[in-house]
Structure 1
Amino acid sequence: MAPPAPKEEPEDESWLATYADAITLLMAFFVLLVAVSKVDLALYEEVAEGINEQVNKKERKAPTQELKDDAAEIVQEMTDGKVLKLGVDDSGIVLEFDSSTFFKPGTAQVIDAAYPIIASLAELVNSPQYEKFNMDIEGHTDDDPISTLQFPSNWVLGASRSASVLQIMNENGVKVDRMRVLSYAATRPKAPNRMEDGTPIPENKAMNRRVVLRIHQKPFEYSPPKYVPVTSIARDYDPNQSNAAPADGATPETTTGETTPTAASEPAPAQ
């Protein structure tokens, strides 16, 4: 009589629980990385373009790359590449105007020769394929102080020069809700304005006087702040009844302090 066949032991699958936990933690880790990371849109488009070329075996230009190529043609045809520089950053393309060439010294007045260049850029970004792009127009200055009736500070000068470029682009069809004016004055120099001993560096100062046009696909988001009505605070305060019970269940500290009438009497900020 043949001996009975040995019973097969059930396979131990307890490792699956540990494996599933590890995969879940790893996925959560990568989700966290994506959530806190700064997305480089220009690099993303380059990678997507390369993948598309390898998979579909055909060339396809990303919108940012196409815009850069079209802008490069304007820079090459209308300037020497020095007074108007073209580059890229992590959001899109960057056009840098030399203030010494585009503006009259110490003013925000654009010289006549610069109008056609700005108008050509306006015509470019008005093309249907670029209507989703927005623009930040930044004004930068050197550290020489300015104090005139029209420009009491470098902040005002930088903002005024940016606004002059915006106005010309708007006159050539670019909608104002696609543009934003910024001023950095002398806070973001490309190169030091002075040596360590305080000696000015003229070539660096000239480099730092510039207007930067950043063209990107980031939306302009604005959430209006929620204000507490000052009139309701003043209505609950009666200076003739300092010992009166607080209104609406408020504590005595919130109704009898000296700050309430002051807040009510302050004028509203100018718009």
Structure 2
Amino acid sequence: MRSPGRPAALTLVVGTVLALLLAGCAGPTSSSRGPSSGPTGEGVVWRSGTDRASVLDSYRVTPWNTQDAEDPRAVSSPDVPGRAAVEYSVPAGGTRSELEPAYRSFRPGDEYWFGLAVHLPGDFPVDASDWQVIAQWKNSGDGSPPLAVQVRDGRFVLDGGEGIGEHWTRDIGPARAGARTDLVLRVHFSDDPDEGSVDVLLDGREVVSDYRPRGGTLYPDEVSYLKTGLYRSSDLDTGASVVYDDVVIATSREAASSLASGS
């Protein structure tokens, strides 16, 4: 076969450059997607992995994810045979063991669905009255996040706004130790309380609909990023662990609800 002439080679080079430029300008479902070792599917833009050898590879490693606690570790899922999960453990007096899905930050006007399959072991102190955050959409600045999911007083609760003096809280439903709970959330990201909104499904049942926090779902002039794991008050005198069977970031409710199942 003859080698290509100069015009053909030039066309090939130009085409390659154009393709790279277009890829760099693509939206969040293409080049801005973080690595994912798990299956995706239509509407899924990021998903936690499924294999113990690689499940942690789909998360960012940062120096602030662990504080007075153990590093997150890959374990066998307590709910889905043959699947890997991520365990986060914090001892009494410890503060945090968290990971960040390797996906981009969320900006004003973004709207995403998030699926969180979280198992609270039988000894998890669900009735503690102090704060225990299992997921947060952390602002890029300092202070408490604009949006988080906590376990407190036997309940899952939405919480946020404290960082701008607009603290709010909203009940989600009962938190059960020794069981897995599937939380699916829609978040419209905005620092405008009239625009920022949240929906929540608890085990497939809608429990929060179009809730508009008085502090919005972002802080002014900041972006947010998802963190999963366990972040809790150092005043708690018992240790705790949570296990995430699956985490999904998606563009639709159906995709976010496609959480790993043992059935």
Flag whether TM exceeds 0.5 (same fold). Answer: no
Query: Whose strand fraction is larger, Structure 1's or Structure 2's?
Result: 2
TM range (shorter): under 0.3
- Structure with bigger gyration radius: 1
| TM-score normalised per structure 1 | 0.26
| TM-score normalised per structure 2 | 0.26
